[in-house]
Chain A
Amino acid sequence: GAVVSQHPSWVICKSGTSVKIECRSLDFQATTMFWYRQFPKQSLMLMATSNEGSKATYEQGVEKDKFLINHASLTLSTLTVTSAHPEDSSFYICSVPRRAGNTGELFFGEGSRLTVL
């Protein structure tokens, strides 16, 4: 069964509104979660690292005020796209490390497809 649950799986919103995407680790606690964005026919781009109990770490070029990340508990991280615009339309995917240590083995959620009209 799924290890990482992401919700909603797809969302359509009007330009200017905010959208919240949830990522839940189902089987274990995760002090760190990762948020990726994937445009059609392109690779996954790391947006930010979500840290439980502290501020998220954003990658270069990612606006922290635009993409708000909250790691509320050891099993939940949320990504809020604020004042969404059509160029924010993308596939957003969260991931959780499979094991302790930096090994690169990740469980991915099913992704959330955002369409901004």
Chain B
Amino acid sequence: QKEVEQDPGPLSVPEGAIVSLNCTYSNSAFQYFMWYRQYSRKGPELLMYTYSSGNKEDGRFTAQVDKSSKYISLFIRDSQPSDSATYLCAMGGKYGNKLVFGAGTILRVKS
């Protein structure tokens, strides 16, 4: 079993839809939870960062962490074609900078 599980997709949605991306994990030591966005042939870009459980909102993006269920989510409201990318969840523990990444979900937003 992988430490972090993420459905690779692709996930295709129409413009304006609400997108839900998810990851599950097995290591209860994870404390830092992140979502990175990666465009094709580019390096990842930090999108959302959460420490421990809870919700965090930034514009059209909302990140949720449920440590009891070992489940994290990223919601994108009013999705745009420019949101089309691969979304990687990432987690860190005591040595937070040594991240474990999910496989990434390919998102395609159709105009």
Contact = CB atoms under 8 A, between A and B. Distances in A.
Most A-side CB within 10 Å, residue of B6, B49, B99: B99
Nearest to B100: A46
Contacts, number: 70
A40 to B, nearest CB: 11
B47 to A, nearest CB: 11
B44 A104 contact: no
Interface string A48-80: 010000000000000000000000000000000
* Interface bin, chain B: 20 to 34
A43 B49 CA distance: 18
Interface residues on A, range: 20 to 34
B41 A106 contact: no
B41 A103 contact: no
B20 to A, nearest CB: 20
A109 B43 contact: yes
Contacts of B99: 44, 46, 104, 106
B60 interface: no
Interface string A77-117: 00000000000000101010110011111111111010000
Given A34-B97, A102-B95, A111 B46 contact: no
B44 A44 contact: yes
B97 A103 contact: yes
Interface stretch (B11-19, B61-69, B77-85, B101-109): B101-109
Grouping DSSP codes into helix (H, G, I), strand (E, B) and loop, the A interface class, with mixed when no group exceeds half, is strand
B8 A104 contact: no
Nearest to A41: B8
A43 B98 contact: no
Contact of B41 (A32, A45, A113): A113
B7 to A, nearest CB: 12
Interface of B: 4, 6, 8, 32, 34, 36, 41-46, 49, 51, 88, 90-92, 94-99, 101-104
13 contacts: A41-B103, A43-B4, A43-B104, A44-B101, A93-B44, A102-B92, A102-B95, A103-B49, A103-B51, A103-B97, A104-B34, A106-B97, A109-B43
